[in-house]
A and B are shown apart, each in its own frame.
Chain A
Amino acid sequence: GAGVSQSPRYKVAKRGQDVALRCDPISGHVSLFWYQQALGQGPEFLTYFQNEAQLDKSGLPSDRFFAERPEGSVSTLKIQRTQQEDSAVYLCASTLSGASYNEQFFGPGTRLTVL
């Protein structure tokens, strides 16, 4: 079966533009996560969904960041009025359920460059 897919794989935006990043989790996976990975760093948690419910958004760096998963499958991370410090790889991961100790399967990421 297919893994987690993300699109676009690369996005270049001018400072101030809005961007939308898409994540298609593994079919049937209940939980979905977004991470931000700066160059040379480990992934940092942004937000977590269980089905369509956003249970934790404590990692979102500012109110310019918004994530949704309206039907409990595909998720979109939106960044408004992008800034240069938003340049990073945005990773999406999914797990089968919200139970403990389930492996998080990561997508390939979207590399965002803000000029």
Chain B
Amino acid sequence: DSGVTQTPKHLITATGQRVTLRCSPRSGDLSVYWYQQSLDQGLQFLIQYYNGEERAKGNILERFSAQQFPDLHSELNLSSLELGDSALYFCASSVEGEGGQNEQFFGPGTRLTVL
């Protein structure tokens, strides 16, 4: 158990819909990262927040957005969903802000299926 929690575990929805994925980082970790993993794309970095502020941005679509709240939990919002958005979405956390220097602790993931 990494100490990072993600809800829900599974999500099934239809194209065009909007969903929100939630992540609670390990106690004391200020950084939260979001990743998308699909079969054909591998693990793709989406976005990082550090102590409430956006820190780094990866290949995140404009239809996707995220935020980190004062209690440090984070939410990833996916809208106008398409079939290709079906994937595993992982959240990770670390103590400090540099993802390359710090050990990232990954949550169990949310499996999103878009029908």
The answer to whether A and B interact is no
Which residues of A are in contact with B by a Cβ distance under 8 Å? Answer: none
